[in-house]
Homo-oligomer: A and B are copies of this chain.
């Protein structure tokens, strides 16, 4: 592997871990747990893994086994910075317990377990990946572990390799599936344990016991770096409004954190748009008003942050999409016979009056795309809409109208950006490097303690790493019942931005000032060396939540 100077230096970094798991460690069991909601349903579905206690590791005479055992790991879903450190933490953790312990990596995500594709992760390999970004050590994948046949294929390979435990590093859905697998393996008395680790840059896998998912810290710092640079450019050139879309389909945590770090003029939070039942026109008007207010002060530039999932948070758009899907499904044969340049009119003629009006108000590129492009299931493809461009276009249109009415006196020129892939595989910040490595070390201890159906947990993360609390949380405790593809399913409750939470409330108290002033903050790039105030800070979200 060719390496940059930073890669070489960074490989020497020794991640910090909680003092409580440094040396002999004992496990302390807390009170029995209940699921966050739908307790009876969850209990019925998880008879063997429901109600287990929260566990904590403390210094003391160890009760962990020193027996020999092997572990298999799976990286599931989208990349997040720090995944390789979870792996090295697990490796170092199980080797400390017994030097003969082996670590296997299933290749290409959950399908590696099912298809029996794996490698043994030896110290040579592990050392190449310490403190690096990416999931390339064994690859990742999006196969869902949901079927009994898959689980049974997993038993086969675990038995063959002497694997005592499978660790699934993934987001909310992957950890839900980890729990289903744990339950099944208990029920079948296979002796195979399953442990989850909380991964996602989206930040939507968190709760009282899981303070943050790994990767969120690093990814949001990368986005904030480039947003800050763009803000400084806007404030120097003074001629563009930059519309910046950020990753995060289901929750707006990434956008909120980036806003807290960079103080842009306008920030849209999907959860608020939904809660206030805002229309697309409400959103467009809000941005246009901010542009007009700054223009009145002679400031014809600014920055707007937009979460990727915004469009799906707007209740009226959700209704339009639902009607479009139903209408197109019902009229597919006829729709196919309509001439290309008549399809838009056809769609308008078939929609309810309200939705037809909304559909007609969209820029042609968007309405055309919604009408003509369908995914393999025949659904309109909301995710292809370039929300940042859509908003910039609609704001421009509104401002042009206001100009005629004398309500807008400035210029409005735009640039647009989308940041996602830039941050998912960055080398983990000191926080994520430490947090992930610790999660891995804790996962090894949970296995040695015979636990299954637990998620590795490291808390108290706004304090120095030595003071972090290590333990395990029963996954069932995070579950509730939700409708998925028409069926009620047990799933880990997704953490959306709380409008009464610390981070949003702070943002809401400041945004009017940020909108009219140029109050930009320039966080700069992640620093791995240098003063602790620069190199070792957690996210603003974490600080404002705790």
Contact = CB atoms under 8 A, between A and B. Distances in A.
18 contacts: A9-B534, A134-B236, A136-B236, A140-B236, A222-B525, A226-B422, A229-B425, A229-B426, A230-B422, A232-B426, A242-B421, A415-B421, A426-B525, A525-B525, A525-B526, A527-B528, A527-B530, A529-B530
A534 B5 contact: yes
B426 A6 contact: no
A122 to B, nearest CB: 20
A519 interface: yes
A531 interface: yes
Contacts of A485: none
Interface string A526-545: 11111101110100000000
A233 to B, nearest CB: 4
Interface centre among A132, A134, A521, A533 (most CB of B within 10 A): A134
B417 A229 contact: no
B427 A522 contact: yes
Contacts of A140: 236-237
Nearest to A238: B139
A424 to B, nearest CB: 5
B133 A522 contact: yes
Contact of A530 (B417, B525, B528): B528
Given A233-B425, A421-B233, A422-B226, A4 B531 contact: no
B232 A134 contact: yes
Given A7-B521, A9-B530, A525-B526, 20 more contacts: A2-B263, A2-B520, A3-B521, A4-B228, A4-B261, A5-B523, A6-B534, A7-B524, A9-B533, A78-B237, A79-B232, A79-B233, A79-B236, A136-B236, A140-B237, A233-B425, A236-B425, A525-B525, A527-B527, A528-B530
A135 interface: yes
A43 interface: no
B6 A421 contact: no
Contacts of A10: 524
Contacts of A381: none
